[in-house]
Structure 1
Amino acid sequence: MDFRFDFAVDENENSEADGDFLLLYSPNHKQESREKSRETAGPAADCSPKLAAAEHRDEAASKKNLCVKAAKEHSIPEDLNKVLENKVMETVLDLSHVKLSVVEMTCSGDTDSEGIVSKSVSSHSDLIPGVYEGGLKIWECTFDLMDYFSEAGVEFTNKTVLDLGCGAGLLGIVALQGDAARVHFQDYNSTVIDEITLPNVVANCTGEGRRVGRGEDTKASQPPSKRPRKAQGSPDVLSRCRFFSGEWSQVSQLLLNSSQPCSKYDVILTSETIYNPDYYSALHDTLAQLLERNGRVYLASKVHYFGVGGGIYLFEKFIEEKNVFRTSVVKTIDQGLQRCIMEIAFKNSS
């Protein structure tokens, strides 16, 4: 079992005295032990008061120099084996995903043109504002949202779906399993799309254990864990997928101003993207521009992100002030740090 410890340590602070604590993540988790076995609590969720204040000051200073990250679409290589080359796969909830610790060890040079892997590792940070926004990790609320899809019977059949801030892309892959007509994946970092999202989609759509496809059996056996995969067979599902990187407003403009404009989305999925209040305006505008008139947004979040100040109720208040959407907290998870699932729709929608 592979555990990762993800936290920043200030050598001048006594973390024990400040009450720091960690949540661990293991891909081979079970329902009854998820809170103990998941990778981390979320972006900047668990930190001491003094460390949180220092991180907040550092973020405030960094924001002054932030640049808007241009958007681009990532093509799907013809040779899908190259996508999975040198990748080690694990499984979680019967989905294949790239082993993230191996990506950290092997991703460098041209494969990490943004330098986010080395920067994240060297700084012991899960977030570097305007540089790296957490896509190298699978955050806890992703699993909360996946559980909610099953519990609430959320339908993806023939829907157009956007996995916003996708990271590993597990939410979008679940939508593909649910027979979505189209699924688009977006992450801030191009390295995340190329080295994590796209390989995960390919691994779940092709080869042995392929179980994502329109009209196909979704009960294929679980693929071998922690072994390289080869893409085999016809990747029909990939024709329903597109991949984008860049800042939200830039991706929106790329989609809306394309020579082949994209129709709006019936469903937008997003997890742990409201940790920073400075991003709320861009996120709100993106949802308003890309959501179909009668569409739904499903958003998973911590109630509060210590150190960065965001959270579900602050975002809910922001939404109310804009007076464009109506919101409803449809599920609350009380184990560990309190978390919520929010449904968002246009005020005049059916």
Structure 2
Amino acid sequence: MAFQFNFSIEEDEENEVEIFGDTMLQLGSIQASLNPERSTEDSKEFLSTEKVAYTESLIVSEATPRTADPVANCNPDKSQVHVLPKKQACFKVAKEHNIPEDFRKVLENKVLEVVRGLYYVNISVVEMTLSDNSHEEDIVSKSISSHSDLITGIYEGGLKIWECTFDLMDYLSEAEIQFVNKTVLDLGCGAGLLGIFALKGNAEKVHFQDYNSTVISEITLPNVVANCTGGDGDDDGDGRISEPSSKRHKKADFRPALIYKCRFFSGEWTEFSQLMLSGRKPLSKYDLILTSETIYNPEYYSALHDTIFKLLDKNGRVYLASKAHYFGVGGGVHIFEKFIEERNVFRSRTVKVHDEGLMRYIIEMSFKNSS
């Protein structure tokens, strides 16, 4: 199947952000996002008839609607990239998210599904519950109204499970990467599947970081809770939390892991690393940093590089999964590796290549002076 993107640059006179305000339009967008039969042509026609202008925005638009299927959600053949004018960088202050004492509340109104043996919340249901603009960040309505997966400085794609996540999970399993007694960071975690994978591998500590606080509270934390409690969530029998009974675990099996092993953070990478380094307790640097599809935008490379430099243990390893190139955005494996080479701090090597369709890579990074 051909991998195609539309590249366009749009400007308006004042470079202001315009969000669709019509309620019926938002409802129609939500319904379309849950209807996998809506055609690509319908989406293109919709976009061509509505004026959408953004400031500080880099938008990855889906030509087809979202589905609950994570593989369908991250199919690159169904994406288009629009580069819109950037006015000024916007950084979200980092903060730590507390783990609620009552796990039951974390999974309220969530529908659980299973992928690769791990629980994850149905993202379409989450979008429906957050589409009333009541949440502080309001990323759902903005994403729906713009038919966008990325809005620079506002939303960085955490509501979607990207395909390279599964590539990296497969590699970690095939290479038999050991997590026992390791401190792990899932950087740009989104759904948190990589960190959950490490947690299931008996990692000593697993920290989760995403740009958006909404993603952490509504997607990442519920996913970790579901996997740490076997998907139980103290369901009260109302039918809103679904799970395959054959895969249930005892509720107490992983509960201590969630409380004592996991921490959750949101905010921009530079802000996140500063938060970690300024803590009252000495920082135990990470043995492993796992990250997927975080090098799509070269403008973020410096912050990503510096965050890894500050938080990775001197003998630690980074495993990064990425597409070869992100059309319309300019990022990708080769340009990132060149950036790494110029900085001359890390060495990198390709450990796996997926050559079907658009090429995808797994690369390993470590300090040049590491053992």
Identify which of 116, 140, 152 aligns with 2:139: 116
Q: CA deviation at 1:65?
A: 2.4
Identify which of 50, 55, 74 aligns with 1:40: 74
CA contact (8 A) 1:89 1:225 kept: no
Q: CA deviation at 1:25?
A: 7.1
Cα deviation per residue 1:123-164 (whole Å; 9 max; x = unaligned)? 100000000000000000000000001111111111000000
**What is residue 233 of structure 1 aligned with on the other side?**
252
Q: CA deviation at 1:339?
A: 0.2
CA contact (8 A) 1:22 1:40 kept: no
Q: CA deviation at 1:21?
A: 7.7
Q: Which consecutive unaligned segments of at least 5 residues does structure 1 have?
A: 14-19, 29-36, 211-222
| Local SS of the residue matching 1:321 | helix
Identify which of 206, 214, 222 aligns with 1:199: 222
Q: CA deviation at 1:9?
A: 3.0
TM-score (norm 1): 0.81
Q: Aligned partners of 1:140, 1:190: CA distance in 2, in Å?
A: 22
CA contact (8 A) 2:159 2:190 kept: yes
**What is residue 258 of structure 1 aligned with on the other side?**
279
TM-score (norm 2): 0.77
Does residue 77 in structure 1 map to residue 111 in structure 2? no
**What is residue 17 of structure 1 aligned with on the other side?**
none
Shift in CA distance, 292/140, structure 1 to aligned 2, threshold 3 Å: same
Identify which of 325, 344, 347 aligns with 1:323: 344
Which amino acid in the other structure matches residue 237 of structure 1? A
Q: Aligned partners of 2:310, 2:257: CA distance in 1, in Å?
A: 26
**What is residue 9 of structure 1 aligned with on the other side?**
44
Identify which of 334, 341, 344 aligns with 2:362: 341
Q: CA deviation at 1:335?
A: 1.4
Does residue 144 in structure 1 map to residue 144 in structure 2? no
Q: Aligned partners of 1:21, 1:105: CA distance in 2, in Å?
A: 20
Count of equivalent residues = 310
Q: Which consecutive unaligned segments of at least 5 residues does structure 2 have?
A: 1-33, 50-61, 234-241
Shift in CA distance, 136/241, structure 1 to aligned 2, threshold 3 Å: same
Does residue 299 in structure 1 map to residue 320 in structure 2? yes
Shift in CA distance, 108/3, structure 1 to aligned 2, threshold 3 Å: closer
Which amino acid in the other structure matches residue 351 of structure 2? V
Q: CA deviation at 1:345?
A: 0.3
CA contact (8 A) 1:255 1:261 kept: no
CA contact (8 A) 2:204 2:261 kept: yes
Shift in CA distance, 126/208, structure 1 to aligned 2, threshold 3 Å: closer
